[in-house]
Amino acid sequence: MKYWLTINEQNTMILHPGAIGTPKGGCLPSSKELYQQNHHMFVAQGRTMRLFHDMLPQGKIGPALNMTSMYQATSRPADAIAAHNWETIRGWGFLDLSVWGRYNPLFWSYLQERGIEPVIEQGDMEDIQSGRPDLVAINYYSTATIAASMGDASDVTARAGDQQIMLGEQGVYRAAENPYTEKTKYGWVIDPVGLRLTLRKVCERYGLPILITENGIGAPDVLEADYTINDTYRIDFIEKHLEQIRLALTDGVDVIGYCPWSVIDVVSTHQGYGKRYGMIYVNRGEQDLKDLKRFKKKSFSWYQEVIKQNGRCIGNSDQAVTKE
């Protein structure tokens, strides 16, 4: 029997405190406090992974982070620097610490320039380095396109989606649009090919097996009068991402598992139950609990068949959906 454990997910806590919310009467922590908390989490993570290996030598453990690739808006060199800035600050800066046990130099320079670097106590880095992850887990939803900073307040713009309320940072990068990708109704970029690219980058950088712990699409699913939920858009989304995972496998990436988000409808950080991710519908509203009955969506039967056929039906959705 294989034992897998992932530790989830440092960069969401640091990047999205305003979206996650604060207790009543509380206030948002400063950037300095956030990165200090982040450092403490990595110390705890290192200790936890070391203890896990001591207690369960045959087990596999690793960090789970929201990882994604950043595209540069144009071939302009300044855009390439900006894209590299944000890809490092948002992703590699966290994952390098998890896997290699050291702060990424660009990430650390960014923290120092702003006076928000954490205090590192004696023994902290040794604890972090002792973790020795066996795998890397990633939560993947979309990519981002980045342009060079203009050096003024216009660098920061509101995002249509949730979690990351604002995009851009003065002097570092600014958000740009990608004409080659689509978006969900909530403003999230849909980019299956970006998953293949992200998998290749993570594989090339760390040389560890990769477990996809989250991937899915949020939508305002509708319960029809006959109690069906025709979420064909979810089938299309997952199928296209699975196709790219298959291509990543041919690229030599060791993908050891895929976990769609999610099996059952859960609360979205911003849209509550108006935005649904599951393959099983929960009959409730935002405030009205109704009867809380569960109904299988169209995607449920489709994904059930994908599992039965071990992905051989990918690319032939009609057949997969009709077979029971």
Q: Which of 9, 117, 239, 305 is catalytic?
A: 9
Crossing angle, helix 232-250 and helix 192-206, to 10 degrees?
A: 30
Name residues whose C-beta falls within 8 Å of residue 90's C-beta, 6 or more positions apart in sequence.
Answer: 11, 15, 68, 70
Q: Which of 87, 169, 182, 214 is catalytic?
A: 214
Q: Are 150 and 122 in contact (CB under 8 A)?
A: no
Partnered with residue 258 across adjacent β-strands are 212
Residue 117 bears catalytic tag: no
- Please give the Cα distance from 289 to 212 (Å, whole number): 32
Residue 113 bears catalytic tag: no
Active-site residue numbers?
A: 9, 214
